[in-house]
């Protein structure tokens, strides 16, 4: 039986036909069902073929790349290997920002038309503008379908979605109360049969979120990782049960092993997560057999590089560098996204030829500057603050060399003694009796995209 059920067209029940406007999406999804089983060498060959189409387009119609490719002597169909690709210099976020107009294509291929634009969340402090096309969205929807199938999120069930909506006014008021919608994805409604979607804005009080989930009793739950962890902390204090909940999908932020264990324990349901970004769409999804994350190689060429810009050894964590294969409007070639990940040493036992990530660490946490002038990575401070316990969420902000603000959402067991220990622990990390200001809050402020920056350096 097919994982998806096509919506019946009037007068057509057998053989089934997909909706005419969305037939490209269905065809793309069916193509992905075949390409995932190609051998790794064949996948790379086809990636490079598509890359040469993109590079030829850039040489003709994208001013920044026209000059860059000429400078480095890269002419027609010149990229025949990954070594050839590495002749193109890495692209930084700051370069993209400074020269954005020169990254915009002067002309698009026939059949490709402007669609809309997006702006990254700016978690790294450098938001990036992205222009997209109809073809980009065809592939985005196709990978969405593949991710649902790999994660076993069956569309016949009901989905609860608690995420940032950017709504204001009356629309926000409605979403804060929770809305019922007739399908998971309105764009795909003419194509597929799905259950109902229950939506709520992330800005709703977490305790009300839990009450709402109890009321609607969904089959699946989707939300930001930091929000799921906050809800899990509340549930561990005051357990509730969700009888129908079959799986949870964490989005937008890195899901650590610790967070996964906590969420699964609290909700008594497995957690899935995907790796995506505004610049490229879907990057990687969990292997259906549970062996890591398969890169969506039909969408991106993903390089994992060391500090010298060379490919990392298998299992070694390195910087994620992306080449997006289907955005001809604002092309990203060898774009340093600022994330970190590690590739598996061997091909996946599931039989798919797609590259396999063993670890995705997301954006690098910042370094903090100590009063003596030395820099120290904040990952150690995360463990120091977490170890104090008795709180649901935290955020550490270094304002100046000698002033740090620690914001805490307290748990039921929180006391002044926890506050004293926390201040001392932070001073210990900074190796100085700096001014540590403790702010106890009911909620922490999120970015417009719904992300929580737990470590912030403003010094």
DSSP for 446-458, written as a single string: PPTTS---SEEE-
How many domains does one find in the chain?
A: 3
**What's the CATH number where 394 sits?**
3.30.300.30
Residue pair 70/88 in contact (Cβ under 8 Å)? The answer is: no
- In terms of domains, do 175 and 245 share one? yes
Other Cβ atoms less than 10 A from the Cβ of 334: the count is 18
Residue 353 lies in a domain: yes
- Out of 242, 273, 304, a domain closes at 273
- In terms of domains, do 163 and 267 share one? yes
Distance CA 226, CA 173 (A): 22
- Out of 363, 397, 425, a domain closes at 363
Can you give the residue range of the structural domain that contains 206? 154-273
- In terms of domains, do 133 and 67 share one? yes
Residue 7 lies in a domain: no
- In terms of domains, do 162 and 127 share one? no
Distance CA 42, CA 48 (A): 10
* Model pTM score: 0.85
Q: Convert the pLDDT of each residue in 348-405 to its tens digit.
A: 999 999 999 999 987 656 778 889 887 776 767 877 888 898 988 889 999 999 999 9
Could you say which residues of the chain have pLDDT below 70?
1, 121-126, 363-365, 377, 379, 448-449
Instruction: Give the pLDDT of residue 69.
Output: 95
Residue 129 lies in a domain: yes
Distance CA 312, CA 343 (A): 8
- In terms of domains, do 372 and 431 share one? yes
Residue 316 lies in a domain: yes
Instruction: Give the pLDDT of residue 374.
Output: 79
- In terms of domains, do 41 and 118 share one? yes
Block residue for tokens 């970190």: 340
Residue 10 lies in a domain: no
Q: Please, what's the b/e burial string for 183-198 (b: 16 or more CB within 10 A of its CB; e: otherwise)?
A: bbbeebbebbebbbbb
- In terms of domains, do 211 and 266 share one? yes
**What's the CATH number where 165 sits?**
3.40.50.980
- Out of 222, 252, 273, a domain closes at 273
Instruction: Give the pLDDT of residue 1.
Output: 47
Instruction: Give the pLDDT of residue 379.
Output: 67
Instruction: Give the pLDDT of residue 106.
Output: 98
């Amino acid at each position: 039986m097919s994982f998806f059920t096509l919506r019946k067209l009037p007068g057509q029940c057998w053989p089934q036909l997909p909706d005419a406007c969305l037939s490209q999406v269905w065809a793309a999804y069916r193509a992905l069902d075949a390409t995932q089983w190609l051998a790794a060498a064949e996948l790379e060959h086809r990636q490079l073929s598509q890359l040469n189409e993109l590079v030829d387009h850039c040489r003709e119609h994208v001013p920044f790349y026209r000059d860059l490719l000429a400078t480095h002597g890269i002419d027609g169909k010149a990229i025949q290997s990954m070594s050839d690709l590495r002749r193109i210099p890495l692209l930084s976020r700051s370069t993209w920002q400074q020269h954005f107009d020169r990254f915009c294509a002067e002309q698009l291929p026939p059949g490709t038309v402007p669609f809309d634009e997006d702006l990254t969340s700016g978690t790294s402090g450098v938001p990036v503008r992205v222009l997209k096309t109809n073809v980009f969205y065809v592939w985005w929807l196709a990978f969405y379908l593949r991710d649902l199938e790999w994660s076993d999120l069956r569309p016949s069930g009901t989905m609860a979605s608690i995420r940032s909506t950017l709504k204001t006014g009356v629309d926000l008021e409605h979403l804060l109360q929770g809305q019922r919608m007739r399908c998971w994805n309105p764009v795909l409604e003419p194509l597929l049969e799905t259950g109902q979607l229950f939506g709520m804005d992330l800005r709703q009080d977490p305790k009300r979120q839990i009450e709402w989930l109890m009321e609607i009793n969904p089959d699946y739950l989707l939300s930001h990782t930091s929000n799921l962890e906050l809800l899990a902390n509340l549930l561990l204090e005051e357990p509730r049960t969700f009888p129908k909940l079959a799986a949870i999908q964490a989005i937008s932020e890195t899901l650590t092993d610790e967070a996964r264990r906590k969420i699964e324990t609290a909700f008594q349901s497995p957690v899935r997560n995907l790796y995506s970004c505004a610049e490229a769409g879907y990057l990687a999804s969990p292997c259906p057999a549970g062996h890591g994350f398969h890169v969506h190689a039909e969408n991106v060429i993903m390089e994992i590089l060391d500090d010298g810009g060379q490919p990392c050894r298998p299992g070694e964590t390195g910087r994620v560098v992306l080449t997006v294969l289907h955005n001809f409007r604002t092309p990203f070639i060898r774009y340093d996204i600022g994330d970190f990940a590690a590739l598996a040493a061997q091909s996946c036992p599931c039989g798919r030829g797609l590259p396999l990530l063993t670890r995705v660490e997301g954006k690098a946490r910042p370094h903090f500057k100590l009063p003596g002038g030395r820099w120290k990575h904040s990952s150690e401070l995360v463990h120091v603050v977490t170890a104090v316990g008795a709180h649901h969420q935290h955020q550490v902000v270094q304002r100046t060399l000698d002033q740090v603000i620690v914001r805490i959402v307290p748990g039921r067991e929180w006391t002044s003694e926890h506050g004293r220990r926390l201040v001392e622990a932070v001073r210990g990390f900074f190796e100085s009796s700096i001014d540590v200001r403790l702010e106890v809050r009911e909620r922490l402020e999120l970015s417009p995209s719904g992300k929580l920056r737990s470590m912030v350096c403003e010094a």
